[in-house]
Amino acid sequence: MHIEILDTTLRDGAQGEGIVFSVRDKLAVAQALDELGVAWIEAGNPGSNPKDLEFFRLASPLRLGTAKLCAFGSTRKKGVKAADDGQLRSLLEAETEGVVIFGKSWDLHVSEVLRVSAEENIAMIAETVAFLKAAGRTVIYDAEHFFDGYTANAVYALSTIKAAADAGADRIVLCDTNGGTFPDAVAAAVREVKQAVPQPCIGIHAHNDSGLALANTISAVQAGCAHVQGTLVGFGERCGNTALAALIPSMELKLKLRCLPEGNLARISGLTRRVAEIANVSINDDMPYVGGHAFSHKGGMHSDGVLKDRRSFEHIDPEAVGNDRHILLSEVGGRSAIAERAKKIDAAITKDHPVSAALAEKIKNLEAEGWSFEGADASFEILVRRELGLYQPRFHIEAYRVMSEHPTGETIACSHAWVKVLVEGQHEIAAAEGDGPVNALDGALRRALTRFFPGLAQVRLEDYKVRVIDGKEATAAQVRVLIESTDGERSWNTVGVSADIIDASRAALVDSIEYKLIGDMERRKE
């Protein structure tokens, strides 16, 4: 069975707090969603947002391979003919193959929000759908607040659905707009709708205000819905929408329902990170399937078990969703954990390999100094490469200087950094200003190196953490710096330790850049 996916990142997702897309951002998100293979991209409301109108103008030349664009709007205004409604005309002017129209299912909204009669609301739904169908559009009708309306007045809620179906709607989507419905109620309502309205296709649009959007969507599909709406990362109005990155793998791998073109599921982790990067948000590490911790194991029975048989502590193969297994190094991990992570560099390494013993001893000594590789996979990989003799530094910092300026008065404090690097016998000197010393050093270092390695222009720091290792030493204490970097496609973590916070940051920054360069070089060889 095939499940049709509509992603509303660019419309409902854009209504999430802190989410702001430029037109260029929207085009980039649409491209990523098409690469994933969703069926529909709900791209915005051209009747209420000039930015969305501009997007549709620029999006028409996009060569989308799988996805089709749809514009979003409401039913006609009360007392206005559909043909005379400016908002409906703007939907046609967007020239999208599909149009999503929302209408009222809850009699409370009809009387208190729209302030029209029950009969007028029915007419608004039917006339709008018929008008858009006559214009040759695929019409997806979103029954807003359907489940609340169904609970309050099932007869009227169903009559709104029938009006849309009789007028020719191609999809009828039941919306849990307030996000408060439970899975059993969703399933019961879906079954009732399918009995009352055998045609057309029924869909589900769930919000996460009760933490049940994912469960409600799966429940609706099991009850008969064949069209699903959500946002890839899960952000949206209030508590967000169904996170498609968590839903689609469950549908394909657990329920054996086809949502994406063959082979595309393995791209979902990388494309989810790309969309999150464009939206300038972080994916929760504990997000199912695609999060950084989704397949992490820390010592003891879990690490031992998964190394013997991954099924013992993993419900799917991480590669199926394009994610990676992480065996976390800790005082309980041992050589087995070290060998498993080192195999990514050299498949011949086992826990009895001499390199595993050497690495175990080195890590033990480094941990005594305050280093920790549990959350710094990239630094650990560089450590392995050094031990194997496979690491050749691509650059060398010959000198650097960081200064912070804290003027009195209203002038904002700032930091400056100067760095001199050596790359294959050539020197480069660069300087940068930043909000703080680490930000300035990062800017100067990447500015100096971008001449030699243009790909570094895409790299930025995504997170920065500092931990004082032994507070008894007060201001002379060792500090551990952990940074997360991203190039928009991948994210990685590196670590540095020193009594000087700037020097610890430098060490983590160097590892971060080296890791990026190693990855780029190996991809070019493939």
pLDDT along the chain (526 residues), means of 10: 96 95 94 97 91 89 91 96 95 96 97 95 98 98 98 98 98 98 98 93 98 98 98 97 98 98 96 91 91 78 68 90 78 67 84 86 84 85 91 93 76 83 95 90 93 92 83 67 89 92 94 94 78
pLDDT at residue 330, rounded to an integer: 55
| 386 belongs to a structural domain | no
Confidence (pLDDT) at 331: 46
The rounded distance, in Å, linking the Cα atoms of 93 and 91 is 5
Residue 381 lies in a domain: no
Identify whether residues 364 and 449 lie together within a single domain. Answer: no
Q: Are residues 403 and 513 part of one domain?
A: yes
Residue 380 lies in a domain: no
Q: Write down the pTM of the prediction.
A: 0.75
Q: In sequence order, what are the residues at sequence separation of 6 or more whose Cβ sits closer than 8 angstroms to the Cβ of residue 431?
A: 416, 417, 418, 419, 444, 447
Given this model, what pLDDT does residue 260 score?
98
The answer to whether residue 230 is domain-embedded is yes
Question: In this structure, are 60 and 101 located in the same domain?
Answer: yes
The CATH number covering residue 99 comes to 3.20.20.70
CB 244 within 8 A of CB 232: yes
288 located within any domain: no
Three-state DSSP string of 107-131: HHHHHHHHCCCHHHHHHHHHHHHHH
- Per DSSP, the three-state class of 286 is coil
Q: Which residues of 415-424 are buried (b: 16+ CB within 10 A; e: fewer)?
A: bbbbbbbebe
For residues 379 and 511, the answer to whether their CB atoms sit within 8 Å is yes
- Claim to verify: residue 429 and residue 497 sit in the same structural domain: yes
Say yes or no: 177 and 46 in one domain: yes
Do 347 and 201 reside in the same domain of the chain?
no
Cβ neighbours of 473 (radius 10 Å): 11
In a domain, 248, yes or no: yes
Same domain, 302 and 275: no
Domains identified in the chain, total number: 3
Domain that holds residue 449: 396-525
Q: What is the DSSP string of 348-411?
A: T--TTSHHHHHHHHHHHHHHHTT---TT-HHHHHHHHHHHHT----S-EEEEEEEEEE--STTP
Whether 404 and 493 map to the same domain: the answer is yes
Q: Mark whether 112 and 13 lie in a shared domain.
A: yes
Q: Identify the pLDDT of residue 408.
A: 61
Kindly state whether residue 244 falls inside one of the protein's structural domains.
Answer: yes
Give yes or no: residues 16 and 114 share one domain: yes
Token pair 């390494």 is at which residue?
A: 349
Claim to verify: residue 212 and residue 258 sit in the same structural domain: yes
Are 172 and 112 part of one and the same domain? Answer: yes
Comparing C-alpha atoms, which of 331, 382, 315 is closest to residue 517? 382
Q: How does strand 491-498 pair with strand 68-74? A: unpaired
Report pLDDT for 416. Answer: 92
First to last CA, the chain: 36
Query: Is 291 within a domain?
Result: no
**CATH number, domain with residue 405:** 3.30.160.270
